[in-house]
Amino acid sequence: MSQSIHNFTVKDARGEDVSLADYKGKVLLIVNTASRCGFTPQLGAMSMLHKEFAGKDFEILAFPSNDFAGQEPLNGEAIEEFCVLKFQAEYPVFDKIKVKGENAHELYKFLSDRNLNGNVNSVPKWNFHKYLVDQEGKVVDYYYSITSPTSKKIKNRIKKLLEE
């Protein structure tokens, strides 16, 4: 039996512990972000998606990472401030973590390994890799960096999960 992301604790941008159990009952889009990437404008698309599903049981969780070409030089609250001021982010921005390799955060080890999550085998190959998680904390799909958060493919899958 695979576990749920609700079993993990992560740090917010201020270094405070956040239990992902706080998100039980919500559909989640989990994204590894970076402030100096060609895909960084997706932070704005994430804001648009967040607004579109406002009032529904949906949340976006942004996990900044410096794993790809050093494209996240900022730390902690500076990352959160960048996302809020430049892209009007109203979704949670967490502390910078590793998302691949042996030093990857336990959450990302779980998200990327079918043996752990029971469904998906997909390690982030770049910034803005996306995982879709259902209300019970099960990983149901993933999307590569080139897929915009506002793509029909992602929005339709979120709508379907919200209806279930």
Residue pLDDT, tens place only, 104-144? 999 999 999 999 999 999 999 999 999 999 999 999 999 99
Which residues are 61's β-sheet partners? 30
Which residues are 132's β-sheet partners? 29, 141
Instruction: Please indicate, yes or no, whether the overall pTM of this predicted structure exceeds 0.75.
Output: yes
Q: Which domain holds residue 60?
A: 5-163
Tell me, what DSSP letter sits at residue 20?
A: G
Report the pLDDT value the prediction gives residue 1, as an integer from 0 to 100: 43
Report the pLDDT value the prediction gives residue 12, as an integer from 0 to 100: 95
Report the pLDDT value the prediction gives residue 164, as an integer from 0 to 100: 85
> Of 1-10, 125-134, 140-149, which gets the smallest average pLDDT?
1-10
Give the mean pLDDT of 72-81: 93
Tell me, what DSSP letter sits at residue 12?
A: B
Alpha carbon of 156 to those of 32, 161, 162: distances in Å?
21, 9, 10
Provide the angle, in degrees to the nearest 10, between the axes of the packed helices 42-52 and 152-163. 30
List pLDDT tens digits, range 19-72: 999 999 999 999 999 999 999 999 999 999 999 999 999 999 999 999 999 999
Domain count, the chain: 1
The CATH code of the domain that includes 15 is: 3.40.30.10
37 is catalytic: yes
The single residue of 28, 31, 37, 49 carrying the catalytic annotation is: 37
Host H or E run for residue 157: helix 152-163
Is the pLDDT score of 2 beyond 90? no
Host H or E run for residue 22: none
Apex CA 43: angle with CA 5 and CA 60, to 5°?
Answer: 25
Give the mean pLDDT of 74-91: 93
How far does Cα 88 stand from its chain's mean position?
17
